[in-house]
């Protein structure tokens, strides 16, 4: 039951990421955004997705919500990293960006769990 709720929350989080990145791509195409704006949009997508995933896990599991949100955020990051490595053969980010993204995903998931 618990693993099913975490997987469902991850699926929701990745769905939100896909929609958000689609809108970001359309904005990039339409408005010729700078690289800085695109990076900020990608980080915002990660945070929003983890926040929503943590919120969903907290709502479904109802106990120790922040820990389930933390788990969703960490699973989100590691799946993101794994897909990046499989697609390119190595992580597609610097170590500084990787650490920042890791803590943003953990924080977003934990906060989502706490707010549920």
Tens of pLDDT along 55-94? 999 999 989 999 999 999 999 999 999 988 888 777 767 8
What pLDDT does 41 receive?
A: 93
| pTM (two decimals) | 0.91
Predicted confidence band of residue 35 (pLDDT cuts 50, 70, 90): confident
Tell me the residue length of the chain.
116
φ, ψ of residue 42 in degrees (nearest 5): -65, -45
Mapping DSSP to helix (H, G, I), strand (E, B) and coil, where does residue 116 land? coil
Cα 77 vs. chain centroid, distance in angstroms?
6
Backbone angles phi, psi at 93, to 5 degrees: -155, 160
Residue with tokens 């990745």: 14
Give burial (CB, 10 Å; 0-12/13-18/19+) of 30. exposed
């Amino acid at each position: 039951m618990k693993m099913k709720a975490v997987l469902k929350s991850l699926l929701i989080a990745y769905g939100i990421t896909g929609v958000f990145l689609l809108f970001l791509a359309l904005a990039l195409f339409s408005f010729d955004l700078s690289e800085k704006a695109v990076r900020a949009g990608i980080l915002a997508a990660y945070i929003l997705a983890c926040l929503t995933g943590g919120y969903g896990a907290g709502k479904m599991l109802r106990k120790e919500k922040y820990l389930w949100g933390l788990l969703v955020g960490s699973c989100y990051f590691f799946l993101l990293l794994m897909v990046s490595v499989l697609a390119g053969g190595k992580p597609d980010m610097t170590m500084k960006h990787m650490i920042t993204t890791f803590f943003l995903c953990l924080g977003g998931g934990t906060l989502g769990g706490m707010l549920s």
